[in-house]
Amino acid sequence: MKKANSILICTLILIGFILVNDGISQQASYPIDTKVVTTQQRMVVPVPVPTTAATIFPYEVSKYSENGYGVWQYGPGLEYVKRLDLMSPSYSDKSVANKAKLLNFFTITDIHLTDKESPTQVILYGFKGGIISAYSAIMLYTTHVLDAAIQTVNALNKQNPIDFGISLGDNCNNTQYNELRWFIDVLDGKEINPDSGIKDDPIPGPLNDYQDVYKAAGLDKSIPWYQAIGNHDHFWMGIKHPDDYLNTTYTGENVLNMGDVLKDPLGIKSRGFYMGVLDGTTKYGDVINIGPVSTTKVEKIPADQNRRSLKKEEWFGEFFNTSSNPVGHGFNEADAKRGFGCYSFEPKSDLPLKVIVIDDTQRDEDPDTDIYGHAEFDKERYDWLIKELDKGQAEGKLMIIAAHIPIGINDPSPELGMSEYSVVTEKDFLDKMHTYPNLILWVAGHRHLNTVTALKSPDPTKPELGFWEVETSSLREFPQQLRTFEIIRNSDNTISIMATNVDPAVKEGSFAAISRSYGIAAFQIFKNPPVYSYNAELVKQLTPEMQKKIQNCGTPIKK
């Protein structure tokens, strides 16, 4: 009998080991909708606010529902727009068919996981309107939305196997240690405590409010995931290098006292207003400790060392403390220790393709004359990138660049475009990129948009020198989407990149569903321009050499 019991115990342990290592996630505390599709099948459609609705402030969360803010429904799917912008004017696709799947991957970006009780936020800039990224009620549920998005990826993987995923930066909202740990722990499938300071429980009981500890599902272990760094990951609020006052405030019990850092010449040295925090003991995360220093009475908040701001090398280093694959998530340990976050990898051994992940954020050492939201290349990063591109081209490999900040977008916003401290101008950089016919795609985040940009060849007789740039919108602000990319070989040995938006599948009444509602309400109240979904088939010409090299690659597409 003892022998039989021992055999049974060993069998159960073995079964558990197999389930975990076959990529089957443990049951999540907050399961998603059983129907998981992309925006090609159905779209989330906001319902217009009634004309009779009262005008309310963003912080009046309890009034959203009664006034018709944040209501949504499902509508028809969004078909692919076929884009031939990079092709020769004489090109015809009438007899061209999709023949084989080469690669399938997903991107998430600008999650902005937010410690809502952090004393170093700038809630004042948005709680009555103004800057939506400074305050909206979705700050309560950022980890829950990420958990739902990861469960959605797991479900899509069962329908169409995914080769890898990549986060394009701004995992953190405010470069805090606890924010980054929440991100890694959600993907690892660990227990998540989305609270900070002392433990709060606005509604007594488990799993019924935004502060409760819960079990994340974790990304399917069969899917490796990789990481790029964003400006919010190593700058205070994504815009400034933290000084001694900010570093002390991060972990202390005093709320931030600051002026208008965007207009005041003193920048982060300006003072005059308490920036506010959210009260984690209240059902709707009430805004407290906010207003002019001269007239506002503030109270101490619970301090927390886990709110500390991370230096670049510390941020990179956390990715080696993980239970998902690969350890380091792309970063080289020696490079990470010195704050260098560029690397490349080849996702499939039977496909001549490599992904180049580049840190194109500004340096911490840049003079404090502007906000730190520009793209930038110092000599080391630029030389490294060119060496990787040269090597990939010489070896006959298709290449994808993944970075946080997009290039060549012609955005007039002063905080975008190439930094004045970059060793290369944007024009010269693009000119160099157009010398690599095997560069097919640049994926980016940063602007919270779903924009697709055709970066055309400067030589009309050589269309293969053009490449596509695809941006993925924020997982925090509505529409809270991720993207999948399926690269397909066509019958004429061109390739098609199927870029598809995905809404996280949310179960009715779940915190992820509430977050979607709050995200829609925020856009309606702030009157921000909508961020549109965009699905596209992006056709790219290859050189004769690469056409020959991939002509037998991929999994045949069944008709």
Whether 438 is in a domain gets the answer yes
- Position 469 in a domain: yes
- Number of domains present in the structure of the chain: 1
Nearest to 554 by CA among 164, 165, 103: 103
Identify the pLDDT of residue 27. Answer: 82
Q: What CATH number is associated with residue 529?
A: 3.60.21.10
CA distances from 235 to 186, 266, 309, 367, 498 (A): 23, 17, 8, 13, 34
Q: How far apart are CA 472 and CA 449, in angstroms?
A: 6
Residue 27 forms part of a structural domain: no
Q: For residue 9, is it within any domain?
A: no
User: What pLDDT, on the 0 to 100 scale, is given for residue 413?
Assistant: 78
Domain extent, residue 551, equals: 42-91+98-556
Residues of the chain by 3-state class (helix, strand, coil), percent to 5? 25, 20, 55
How far apart, in whole angstroms, are the C-alpha atoms of residue 85 and residue 540? 9
Q: Which residues contact 193 (CB under 8 A, 6 or more apart)?
A: 199, 213
Residue 410 has a pLDDT of 81
Note the pLDDT of residue 452: 98
With respect to residue 36, please indicate whether it lies within any of the assigned structural domains: no
Q: What is the DSSP string of 257-271?
A: EE--TTT-TTGGG--
CB atoms closer than 10 angstroms to residue 365: 8
The pLDDT assigned to 26 comes to 58
Q: Which residue shows structure tokens 């924010």? A: 179
Q: How distant, in Å, are the alpha carbons of 153, 433, 496, 559 from that of 104? A: 12, 24, 12, 18
The answer to whether position 1 is within a domain reads no
Residue 17 belongs to a domain: no
Distance CA 380, CA 391 (A): 16
Place of tokens 């992006």: 538
- Ordered mean pLDDT values, 10 residues apiece, the chain (559 residues): 43 39 63 98 97 96 97 97 97 95 98 98 96 96 98 98 98 98 98 97 97 98 98 96 97 97 91 98 98 97 98 98 98 97 98 98 90 95 98 98 95 82 96 98 97 97 97 97 98 97 97 98 94 97 97 91
Torsion-angle region of residue 181: left (phi > 0), alpha (psi -120 to 50) or beta? alpha
- Domain assignment of residue 543, yes or no: yes
| Other residues' Cβ atoms within 10 Å of the Cβ of residue 416 | 17
**Sheet strands side by side (includes 439-444):** 343-345, 353-357, 398-402, 439-444, 467-471, 452-455
**DSSP string over 117-169:** T-TT--GGGTBTBS-TTT--GGGGGHHHHHHHHHHHHHHHHHHS---EEEE-S
pLDDT value for 144: 98
Structure tokens at 246: 């900010």
Question: In 10 A of CB 316, how many CB atoms?
Answer: 28
Are the CB atoms for 236 and 246 separated by under 8 Å?
Answer: yes
